Chain A
Amino acid sequence: MEAKKRNIKKEIQEKLDDEVLRGALTRFAREYPLAREKALANVEDVEALRESLRDIKRDTVAHIEEVADTFEAEAVKRGVKVFRAANGAELRNYILNLCRERGVKRVVKSKSMASEEVDLNPDLKEAGIRVKETDLGEWIIAIPGHKPSHMVLPAIHLNRYQVADYFSKELDKDIPPEIPLMVQTARVNLREEFLQADMGITGANIGIAENGAICLVTNEGNGRLVASLPPIHVVIIGYEKLIPTIKDAVPILRLLPRGATGQLMTSYMSMIAGPTPVMVKTDGAWVEKQKEIHYILLDNGRLDAAHDDRLKEIYQCVRCASCLNVCPIYTLVGGHVYGGHTYAGGIGAILTAFLSGMGEFEQFNELCIGCRRCTTVCPGKIDIPGLIEELRQRSVKEHGLPFVMDKIFSVMTKRRLFHSLLRAASVAQKPFTSEGLVRHLPLFLAGMTKDRSLPSIAKVPLRDRVDDVIKKIEKPVKRVGFFSGCTMDFVFPETGENVIKVIQDLNMEVVYPDGQGCCGKPVSATGDVEHTKKLAMNNIRAFEDLHVDVIICACPTGVEQIRDYPHLFEDDPEWKVRAKSMADKMEEFCSFVAREYERAGRLKKADKKADAIKVTYHDSCHLKRVLGIYEEPRKLIESVESYELVEMKDADKCCGMSGAFGVQHSNLSIPILKQKMDNIENTGAGVVACACSGCMVQLQGGIDQQTPGKKMKHVADILAENIRD
Chain B
Amino acid sequence: MKRTCDNWRDKLPAGTFDSHLYEEFELRAKNISAEVFRVKRADEAREIILDIVKKTGARSVAVVPCPLIKASGILDALKDNGVAVHTEQADIAEHIPIVDIGMSGVEFGIAECGSVCQNAVAIESRLVSSLPPLHIAFMKSRNIVPGIEDAVGIMSEFFTEGYISWITGPSRTADIERVLAIGVHGPSRVVIFAVDDEEVA
Contact = CB atoms under 8 A, between A and B. Distances in A.
A265 B168 contact: yes
B30 interface: no
A265 B171 contact: no
Interface in A232-251: 245-247, 249-250
A265 B161 CA distance: 23
Nearest to B163: A276
A653 B64 CA distance: 53
- Most chain B Cβ neighbours within 10 Å, of A140, A163, A225: A225
A448 B191 CA distance: 63
B160 A135 contact: no
A137 B176 CA distance: 7
A211 B161 contact: yes
Contacts of B170: 267
Interface stretch (B11-19, B39-47, B124-132): B124-132
* Chain A interface helix/strand/loop/mixed: mixed
Contacts of B162: 272-274, 276
B112 interface: yes
B183 A211 contact: no
Interface string A260-285: 01011111111111101111010001
Interface stretch (A176-184, A380-388, A710-718): A176-184
- Most chain A Cβ neighbours within 10 Å, of B114, B164, B167, B175: B175
A579 interface: no
Interface stretch (B73-81, B90-98, B100-108): B90-98
Q: For the side of the interface on A, what is the size category?
A: 35 or more
A121 B152 CA distance: 35
Interface in B137-174: 148-149, 152-153, 155-156, 159-174
B66 interface: no
Contacts of B175: 135-137, 140, 153-155
A110 to B, nearest CB: 9
Contact of A273 (B114, B161, B168): B161
A534 B9 CA distance: 69
A274 B160 CA distance: 9
Nearest to B114: A264
A531 B155 CA distance: 56
B164 to A, nearest CB: 5
Contacts of B153: 247
Contacts of B181: 179-180, 183
Interface residues of B, number: 54
B168 to A, nearest CB: 4
Given A160-B177, A246-B152, A279-B123, A78 B186 contact: no
A649 to B, nearest CB: 21
Nearest to A80: B161
A179 B131 contact: no
A246 B156 contact: yes
Contacts of B164: 270-272
Contact of A225 (B89, B130, B149, B183): B130
Given A254-B148, A276-B162, 19 more contacts: A163-B176, A179-B176, A184-B183, A191-B97, A219-B184, A220-B185, A224-B126, A224-B165, A225-B130, A225-B131, A245-B156, A261-B174, A264-B113, A265-B112, A269-B165, A276-B121, A277-B2, A277-B122, A286-B89
Interface of A: 24, 27-28, 42, 78, 134-137, 140, 153-156, 158-160, 163, 179-180, 182-184, 186-187, 190-191, 194-195, 211, 213, 219-222, 224-225, 228, 245-247, 249-250, 253-254, 261, 263-274, 276-279, 281, 285-288
12 contacts: A136-B173, A160-B177, A220-B184, A220-B186, A221-B184, A225-B131, A249-B152, A250-B149, A264-B112, A270-B165, A277-B121, A288-B123
Interface of B: 2, 28, 32, 89-90, 93-94, 97, 110, 112-115, 120-123, 126-127, 130-131, 148-149, 152-153, 155-156, 159-179, 181, 183-187
10 A-B pairs with least C-beta separation = A221-B186, A137-B175, A264-B113, A265-B113, A246-B156, A221-B171, A221-B185, A286-B90, A220-B184, A279-B93
